Chain A
Amino acid sequence: MNRSLLTNPYLLILPGLFLAGFIIIWPLVQITEIAASDVNRFGQLQGFAGLDNFRAVIADPAFLGASLRTLIWTVCIVAGTILISMPVALILNEDFHGRGLARIIIMLPWAVSLTMTAIIWRWALNGESGMLNSALRGFGIIDTNIQWLAQASTAFPMQIMIGILVSIPFCVTIFLGGLSSIPDDLNEAARLEGAGPWQVFREITLPLMRPFLNIAVVMNTIYVFNSFPIIWATTQGGPANGTDILVTHLYKIGFRFGKLGEAAALSLMMFAGLLVLTLIYVRLAMRDTAK
């Protein structure tokens, strides 16, 4: 009996697969049903509504703003993270004194929950008594306090900066994994042939890092697109929805305004977008496995 239990892979997989499948499929079915229904304020479904909810979502001017900002948010954070992480990973891959310590410091933001990080920054960016203002005044960089979170034009860039800061550890991790797979003698051979450091990077490191770079871009895009706590815990999408991205917009229409039908419709639209990104990722990951 033990034998059959242990050697039947389907039995072994079933509980895990059931749990992982159930938590996605059941809510997805519910969301689809809600999105196609007329829903009252108490969350009761009142008949088929066709595409009305989807039309209402798109007609909402806040949706356009949030979509645009999601694009800026995702592109800026992913690009910024990759551009900073690559040199950081190259440095951390070299042997120098205190490298272990440097690695731990660079990885630190990953260890702290985004909520806590965002709350700390909210305090550090406080207009009256925030320590960023006092530090900048101390160094003579600014004369008067800046109300960082009081207007979207300063709040949103700051949120993007926080987003980059917390995304770097993951990206550096992926790059370090990639760099460690490049044989040392390849670099040395190139140097002996007279290639400069920049040439070695362009001609050898970068092409070999391509699969890792791809995966870092796709995974980061998915994480950043879904990132909720940074914005929610600093400004809750305010002031005047000026820092809303799609996930905070979705949360607001669902749980603040109680428009469940529209929230479900928006969820489905975002889900479809994510699925496309994910399929790209799976193709990249599987292609590397196949090699």
Chain B
Amino acid sequence: MSRKMRRTLWSWLALSPLIVLILFPFAVMFITAVKPAAEALQSRWWPSEFRWSNFAVMWGNTNFGQALFNSIYVAVASTLLAMAVSVPAAYAISRYRFRGRGAVQQFLLISQMLSPIVLVIGLFRLVVWLDLLDSVQSVVFVYAAFSVAFTVWMLQSYFATIPADLEEAAWIEGASPWQALVTVFLPLAIPAMTVTAIFAFINAWNEFVIALTMLRSQDSYTLPIQIFSLVAGRYTIEWELVMAATLVATVPVAILFAWLQRYLIRGLALGAVK
């Protein structure tokens, strides 16, 4: 028991510099977000009072509602689109041995690694060609297409852990493949699909470069672009409002992520390494 206590002490002590560095920006964000406007630019740590009304002011002044709506729409729509094409593909890769399967897997691995930034000139052309510039639809399409590689990869590594015997048993019992899929496979696959979808959602929620390039007006801004526009190229920045907006945009996703991170550890260990 006392050995474990000692280990606890040393572990926390060793991790403490890193933990301080990690929590520092969160502390800065939180404290600034509740500072009265007059104190935001003073170099004092603690505010004289907690000004919760900053959040209401921020909501009214920064186009936050519209950006929040755009972000939710973009993240949900692109995730649904990606999942709709990824689930069948992942099912095929994990269940069938077919000619070209290895090539498809290699292609997925490679395209997962290619970041949109080196293709941004071509993507911009594509969006102009589709006449979707400054439309959230362009971002939905690009996010969905870029997340397919990741979602198929995650899904197929999870699907491969669901024994195929169960479906085969259902076939022998006289179920059609379709019935076996719906009644046997899908219920078992739902957790994996949910986790994968949530990661695709978080990626879309946080994306910056594509949104910065394709979205040109406040009506179509997503949250990262909206908040970036509050600090980029301005003479006076109302930092307490910027931090309030950052807090509201960040905390729900951070909680979701903290809850899910162990599934990601499992998925990555299964998919990327094994």
Contacts and interface: CB of A to CB of B under 8 A. Distances in A.
B28 A123 contact: yes
Interface stretch (B19-27, B49-57, B60-68, B189-197): B19-27
A97 B114 contact: no
Contacts of B12: 96, 98, 102
Interface of A: 2-3, 6-7, 9-10, 12-13, 15-17, 19-24, 26-31, 34, 84, 87-88, 91, 94-99, 102-117, 119-124, 126, 128-135, 137-138, 145, 165, 168, 173-174, 176-178, 180-181, 211-212, 215, 219, 222-223, 226, 228-229, 232-233, 236, 247, 250-251, 254-255, 260, 263-264, 267, 270-271, 274-275, 277-279, 281-282, 285-286, 288-289
Nearest to A105: B19
Interface of B: 4-5, 7-8, 11-12, 14-15, 18-19, 21-29, 31-32, 40-45, 82, 84-86, 88-93, 95-96, 98, 101, 104, 106-111, 113-115, 117-123, 125-126, 142, 144-146, 148-149, 152, 176-178, 181, 202, 205-209, 212-213, 224, 227-228, 231-232, 239, 242-243, 246, 249-250, 253-254, 256-258, 261, 264-266, 268-269, 272-274
22 contacts: A16-B90, A19-B82, A24-B111, A24-B119, A88-B15, A88-B18, A97-B8, A99-B11, A104-B258, A111-B258, A112-B254, A113-B207, A129-B41, A134-B44, A174-B272, A177-B268, A233-B208, A247-B118, A267-B120, A274-B115, A278-B109, A278-B113
B273 A84 contact: no
B258 A108 contact: yes
B118 A274 contact: yes
Contacts of A211: 273
A116 B18 contact: no
Contact of B31 (A19, A131, A232): A131
B4 A97 contact: yes
A236 B208 CA distance: 14
A219 B153 CA distance: 15
B19 to A, nearest CB: 5
A2 B224 contact: no
Chain A interface helix/strand/loop/mixed: helix
Contact of A288 (B149, B202, B273): B273
A174 B110 CA distance: 19
Contacts of A228: 117, 208-209
B213 A113 contact: no
A178 B273 CA distance: 9
Contact of A115 (B114, B119, B206): B206
B258 A271 contact: no
B206 A114 contact: yes
B265 A112 contact: no
